[in-house]
């Protein structure tokens, strides 16, 4: 059974009913989840759910909830999303949604979420849910494989890896008997079982034998296989090969954290020199993430591993913090299963441990850490020394502040503040303590704590209180409040001129460009030797404000050569060559070609893709900051076009209507050139998206007409965007295309639909050529 057939048919119906955005989301949300673009999924699903509910399509509600659940499960969410998943499960099993194929997927989501909460503790219930749901479907369902994996994972969590392997083989055989394609993800689950059984050679052979069948386009499957192979290599005595294969922690995706940690731990257990501070920080980052999403059992397991390795590195503070955090999650386990005893044993080992000898007396440590002698020290060792110094000198401000900063830099934001809070509360007049506390709170995104701090100190440090509030207002996008708060700062401290920079930043966000220019000019003129960044900031604000004399003044100061003009106030629009501007289009990043016209302006020359807002011809202000560095190789630099950040303001709209796509059989270069010339003579724009590698298939082609070397029925295709001025009706565009393309095998379904014409001919051509 094709469990997605209904949704594909619905997408076509929605297109015909004038709901192209929802039809697009039906396909895009699962695509983004598949690609691991989870922030995009989070952004798109609320919009998709609102649209589905407005049209009263309850099955779509279940469909989109499943993909959001799946995205969060992949990122290890447990307790934090359990309530929402339970609610989804209840909704999916109501009378009006029970027949929806994705109601089965919601059951899978529920089982997987309980696995993230406490896999072993909920294993019996997970097995029962899988058995009940698998009894309702057969191997033709795509859910069959996913639910089989969930059941195998539950057996794994019960300590039955051998039974899990046998079960997966049975399920694979059942798929084959039913004539269905076997699920390649079974392999990763089987490999995990063999590793638990201590059979790494069997695991490696299974990975090797299944390499050809694995989906090269599935990022997550490939990542899973890589980390499993790394573990297997380490366990089979090939630690050096495993180290070579393991990517840097900073290069992996959030959803791979646990897989990476398990592979890294396997290496560290057989290769002691792999137990580095970097490994400790990676484990801590993972533990903090599991803490934030309510993944209790796996957090405790990782904390125990962290404790073992931290004690081996002689940093018991890190072991103690891992144990303390694990104890917070202990009561949230459904079943203890020995977790408390393991934590007690780890705590006993920690109590007997000691760190490395500090380099000086406790009171001298902050100064010593600022010297050259401290260069290259690992943060975890510094924290160990400072913790010991703080216990010896609990009232020493320098020790406490240095310790708090070190902990915050490590990522232990809550712990950092416990080391400083009593001092901060007792000294509202201390600028040093208050600034350090503010830094800790802003790093922890604890804005409520900053407001409480501002209220405490506004009588003794009024300028600081206003400044802290201004910083928080900007972070929370309350831009209109920033200027008045900075004005308060200046009332109490006229020399706090740099704070005007934040006022200018907020004004830019509000598109109050004249105010931004005024504030940036004051900052720049107050500096005897302003740097290039200050000049660029003023130039960009002046460009947005169209204060061209100021733009020219700063451009000259930055040693730019400009064309001569009659008036300094004349708009600055020159030809500085082609660039790309990176746009965010509904969560997708897209580089759009533009012609740079000045230091911070460009005219967009590429039409929008179908269904996106039209920017063709827009004259925009952009931040001249490269989003990727040009290639260093001179050969690669030839023809390279620089890519800049997306525009921050539109000075002038281009006045073009939507883009319509023309698709079909390439009629030859001469015919396409004539078509494009004729359309551009009308003042319209064209953009060819296809190249020499865009081929389409004609099933009706006579194979005798094909060259022996060609694919049967394979034809070069053309995919062309046509954009007319906004005042040109779709029917006029369609009529012009019909005249110019007579005799060509080209179609434009969306344009025909918008023109109120029959789409039958266009859809028939799409079906014939598979467009």
Q: Which residues pair with 644 in a beta bridge?
A: 581, 626
Q: What is the total residue count of the chain?
A: 771
609 domain-assigned: yes
pLDDT in tens, 263-294: 999 999 999 999 999 999 999 999 999 999 99
**611 within 8 A of 619, measured Cβ to Cβ:** no
Q: Can you give the residue range of the structural domain that contains 497?
A: 483-571
411 and 394 housed in the same domain: yes
- Same domain? 615 vs 670: no
Residues 669 and 756 in one domain: yes
Do 618 and 661 belong to one domain?
no
Cα separation of the two ends of the chain = 25
d(CA 225, CA 221) in angstroms, rounded, equals: 6
657-692 per-position pLDDT tens digit? 999 999 999 999 999 999 999 999 999 999 998 888
Q: Outline where DSSP puts E strands in 567-693.
A: 578-585, 588-596, 601-604, 619-622, 643-644, 647-652, 656-665, 685-688
Q: What is the pLDDT of residue 709?
A: 46
How remote is the C-alpha of 300 from its chain's centroid?
27
Provide the 3-class DSSP secondary structure of residue 371. coil
Neighbour count for residue 255 (Cβ, 10 Å) = 19
- Please compute, for residue 205, the number of CA atoms within 13 A of its CA located in the half-sphere on the CB side: 5
Please give the Cα distance from 167 to 148 (Å, whole number). 8
Q: How far is CA 113 from CA 41, 66, 69, 117, 469, in A?
A: 18, 12, 9, 6, 39
Final residue of a domain: which of 460, 492, 513? 460
Indicate whether 682 belongs to any domain: yes
Strand, helix or coil for residue 312: helix
Query: Across all residues in the chain, what is the average pLDDT?
Result: 93
Q: What does the pLDDT look like over 226-247, one tens digit per residue?
A: 999 999 999 999 999 999 999 9
150 with 133: CB under 8 angstroms?
Answer: no
The verdict on 718 and 614 lying in the same domain is no
pLDDT tens digits along 572-594: 999 999 999 998 776 678 899 99
Evaluate whether residue 248 is within a structural domain: no
For 479-502, write each residue's pLDDT tens digit. 999 999 999 999 999 999 999 999
If asked whether residues 669 and 765 sit together in one domain, one would say: yes
Same structural domain, 647 and 664: no
Is 696 found in the same domain as 624? no
Domain count across the chain: 4
CATH of the domain at 740: 3.30.70
The answer to whether residue 282 is domain-embedded is no
Residue 621 lies in a domain: yes
For 100, counting Cβ atoms within 10 Å of its Cβ (0-12 exposed, 13-18 middle, 19+ buried), the class is: buried
- The candidate with the shortest Cα–Cα distance to 112, out of 153, 143, 59, is 153
Q: What is the 3-state secondary structure (H, E, C) of 494-554?
A: CCCHHHHHHHHHHHHHCCCHHHHHHHHHHHHHHCCCCCHHHHHHHHHHHHHCCCHHHHHHH
The pLDDT assigned to 708 comes to: 46
Q: Are residues 640 and 700 in the same domain?
A: no
Distance of alpha carbon 454 from alpha carbon 132, whole angstroms? 57
Residue 277, burial from CB neighbour count under 10 angstroms (0-12, 13-18, 19+) = middle
Residue 395 belongs to a domain with what CATH number?
1.25.40
Residue 553 lies in a domain: yes
pLDDT > 50? residue 728: yes
- Residues 639 and 668 placed together within one structural domain of the fold: no
Q: Are residues 621 and 693 in the same domain?
A: no
Co-location of 643 and 670 in the same domain: no
Per the domain annotation, does 218 fall within a domain?
no
Final residue belonging to a domain, choices 410, 426, 460: 460
Report if residue 643 sits inside a domain: yes
| Domain final residue pick, 593, 627, 652 | 652
- Go through 289-315 and write b for each residue having 16 or more CB atoms within 10 A of its CB, e for each that does not: bbbebbbbbbbbbbbbbbbbbbbebeb
Confidence bin at 2 (pLDDT 50/70/90) = low
């Amino acid at each position: 059974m094709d469990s997605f057939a209904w949704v594909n048919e619905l997408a076509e119906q929605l297109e015909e009913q004038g709901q192209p955005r929802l039809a697009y989301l039906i396909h895009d949300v699962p695509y983004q989840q598949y690609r691991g673009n989870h922030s995009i999924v989070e952004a798109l699903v609320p919009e998709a759910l609102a649209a589905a509910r407005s049209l009263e399509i309850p099955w779509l509600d279940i469909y989109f909830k499943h993909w959001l659940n799946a995205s969060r499960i992949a990122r290890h969410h447990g307790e934090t999303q359990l309530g929402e998943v339970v609610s989804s499960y209840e909704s999916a099993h109501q009378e009006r949604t029970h027949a929806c194929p994705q109601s089965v997927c919601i059951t899978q989501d529920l089982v997987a979420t309980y696995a993230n909460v406490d896999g072993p503790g909920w294993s019996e219930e997970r097995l029962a849910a899988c058995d009940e749901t698998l009894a309702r479907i057969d191997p033709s369902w795509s859910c069959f494989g996913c639910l089989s994996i969930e059941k195998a994972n539950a057996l794994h969590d019960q300590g039955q890896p051998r039974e899990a392997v046998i079960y997966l083989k049975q399920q694979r055989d059942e798929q084959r008997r039913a004539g269905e394609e076997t699920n390649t993800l079974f392999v990763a689950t089987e490999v995990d079982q063999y590793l638990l059984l201590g059979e790494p050679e069997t695991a490696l052979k299974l990975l090797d034998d299944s390499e050809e069948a694995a989906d090269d386009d599935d990022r997550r499957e490939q990542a899973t296989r890589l980390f499993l192979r790394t573990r297997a290599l380490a366990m089979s005595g090939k630690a050096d090969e495993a180290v070579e294969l393991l990517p840097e922690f900073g290069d992996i995706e959030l959803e791979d954290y646990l897989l990476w940690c398990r592979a890294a731990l396997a290496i560290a257990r057989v290769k002691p020199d792999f137990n580095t501070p970097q490994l400790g920080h990676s484990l801590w980052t993972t533990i903090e993430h599991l803490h934030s999403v309510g993944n209790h059992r796996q957090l405790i397991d990782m904390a125990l591993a962290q404790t073992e390795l931290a004690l081996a590195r002689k940093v018991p503070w890190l072991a103690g913090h891992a144990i303390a955090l694990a104890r917070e999650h202990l009561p949230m386990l459904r079943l203890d299963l020995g977790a408390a005893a393991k934590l007690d044993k780890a705590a006993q080992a920690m109590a007997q441990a000691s760190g490395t000898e500090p380099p000086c007396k406790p009171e001298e440590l902050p100064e010593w850490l600022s010297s050259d002698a401290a260069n290259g020290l690992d943060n975890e060792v510094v924290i160990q020394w400072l913790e010991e110094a703080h216990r010896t000198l609990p009232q020493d401000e320098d020790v406490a502040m240095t310790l708090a900063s070190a902990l915050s830099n490590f990522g232990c934001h809550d712990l950092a503040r416990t080391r400083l809070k009593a001092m901060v509360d007792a000294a509202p007049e201390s600028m040093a303590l208050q600034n350090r506390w503010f830094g800790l709170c802003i790093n922890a995104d604890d804005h409520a704590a900053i407001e409480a701090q501002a209220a405490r100190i506004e009588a003794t440090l009024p300028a600081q209180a206003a400044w802290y509030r201004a910083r928080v207002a900007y972070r929370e996008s309350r831009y209109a409040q920033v200027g008045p708060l900075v004005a308060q700062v200046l009332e109490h401290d006229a020399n706090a001129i740099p704070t005007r920079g934040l006022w200018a930043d907020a004004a830019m966000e509000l598109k109050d460009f004249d105010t931004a220019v005024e504030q940036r000019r004051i900052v720049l003129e107050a500096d005897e030797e302003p740097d290039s960044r200050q000049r660029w900031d003023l130039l960009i604000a002046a460009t947005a404000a169209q204060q061209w004399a100021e733009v020219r003044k700063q451009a000259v100061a930055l040693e730019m050569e400009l064309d001569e003009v009659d008036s300094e106030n004349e708009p600055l629009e020159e030809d500085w060559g082609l660039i790309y501007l990176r746009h965010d289009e509904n969560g997708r990043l897209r580089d759009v070609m533009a012609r740079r016209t000045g230091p911070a302006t460009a005219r967009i020359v590429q039409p929008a893709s179908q269904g996106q807002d039209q920017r063709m011809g827009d004259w925009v202000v952009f931040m001249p900051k490269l989003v990727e560095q040009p290639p260093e190789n001179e050969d690669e630099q030839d023809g390279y076009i620089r890519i800049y950040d997306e525009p921050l303001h539109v000075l002038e709209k281009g006045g073009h209507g939507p883009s319509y796509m023309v698709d079909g059989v390439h009629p030859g270069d001469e015919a396409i050139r004539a078509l494009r010339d004729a359309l551009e003579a009308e003042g319209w724009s064209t953009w060819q998206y296809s190249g020499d590698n865009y081929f389409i298939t004609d099933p009706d082609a006579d194979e005798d007409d094909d060259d022996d070397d060609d694919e049967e029925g394979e034809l070069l295709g053309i995919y062309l965007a046509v954009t007319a001025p906004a005042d040109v009706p779709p029917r006029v565009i369609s009529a012009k295309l019909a005249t110019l393309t007579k005799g060509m095998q080209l179609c434009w379904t969306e344009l025909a639909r918008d023109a109120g014409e029959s789409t039958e001919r266009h859809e028939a051509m799409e079906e014939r050529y598979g467009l």
